[in-house]
Chain A
Amino acid sequence: MTDERYLRQLLCWGATNQQRLADAAVLVAGLGGLGATVSQLLARAGVGTLYLVDDGKLDPPDLNRQLLYSEVDLGKPKLETAATKLCRINSTLRIVTLPGRIVPGFQIPSEVTVVADCLDNYASRFALETCLSPGTFLVHGGIEGDQGQVLTLKKGTSRPFVEIFSGSLQPPGPIGVTGAGATVLAGLMVNELYSVLFGEPKLLDRCLVVGLGDLHVSFLEV
């Protein structure tokens, strides 16, 4: 079934890159607007091992954009719910839940070479960076209203995330995010995750800044 299952994407990137996905271990930090879609697309694409981290439960305002979940999941932990749904989407994968919150000292398994930062606040993002081993790639995504960004950093050689994003503001209260916006940014993140896994990151030390309101993209070198 494998070749048939992945037929359409094999036509895009070939068997060698498909094997790279199968051999990969990716950690998705945060299973909300970005992470629910990022993890789903990675599962559908056949990424061999997915580590998942999230300590939240599903609330009604999540349903506009968090595509893995539905009304029956309200009140349930996102971590276990996402793992169950991802297993149903692709039962051939290894899906590992990591309970707890991203704080300094959080243990990231050594086989993880790429981490998707789908977190929703800068404090957790700064903590996540401290947990990465040298050489690990971090694909960061963020969204707020009609604006978002995607950036890849390599721990040890890129400028630290905490330095680049010093002075960023965490707005009080809920942040406006639409289903379309979160899905577009998640798709861009996954596109970059593939590039990293294929050995050709497109956004390494180069922040893609997306304006959905006027369909504008620009790049900020970091």
Chain B
Amino acid sequence: MIQVRFYSLLRLMLKQEQLDLPAREGETVGELLQRLQQQIKIPFLHKLLNEQGVLHAGTIIMVNRRNILHLEELATPVKDGDQLGFFPPGAGG
């Protein structure tokens, strides 16, 4: 299974903190996002991607504690046992 955790405003918006999905051979973060959106009926992809499907700023996406912007972005592969986190951090101080 792949463990997906939502934090902060995403958790509130989606009304859930964690979702476990079965892994699929050769799947990427981008593909997993599409599968997540199919499973979660509340639209949320617009919070992460622009109309061209490109990541936009606002939410940190972690795969096994690594920000995907420092991996292969949406092409980062995910496999069984991986942990994903979606976290829009607070900016103020």
Contact = CB atoms under 8 A, between A and B. Distances in A.
B9 to A, nearest CB: 6
B69 A166 contact: yes
A120 B89 CA distance: 12
B60 A167 contact: yes
A219 B17 CA distance: 11
Contacts of B67: 163-167
A213 interface: yes
B34 interface: no
Contacts, number: 99
B70 A166 contact: yes
Contacts of B5: 218, 220
Size class of B's contact patch?
20 to 34
B91 A149 contact: no
Main secondary structure of the interface of A (DSSP, over half): loop
Given A209-B7, A209-B8, A214-B12, A168 B89 contact: yes
Nearest to B48: A167
A143 B93 contact: yes
Interface in A135-155: 141-145, 147-149
Contacts of B66: 159
B79 interface: no
Nearest to B6: A218
Interface residues of A, number: 43
A30 B12 contact: no
Contacts of B60: 164-168
A142 B62 contact: no
Contacts of A119: 93
Given A147-B9, A213-B12, A159 B91 contact: no
Nearest to A168: B89
A142 B58 CA distance: 14
A72 interface: no
Interface in A156-172: 159, 163-171
B90 interface: yes
Interface in B1-21: 5, 7-9, 11-12, 17
7 contacts: A118-B93, A121-B91, A142-B91, A142-B92, A164-B60, A175-B92, A213-B12
Interface of B: 5, 7-9, 11-12, 17, 55, 57-62, 65-67, 69-70, 83, 85, 87-93
Which 6 pairs of residues, A with B, have the shortest CB-CB distance? A144-B90, A175-B92, A169-B58, A120-B93, A142-B90, A169-B57
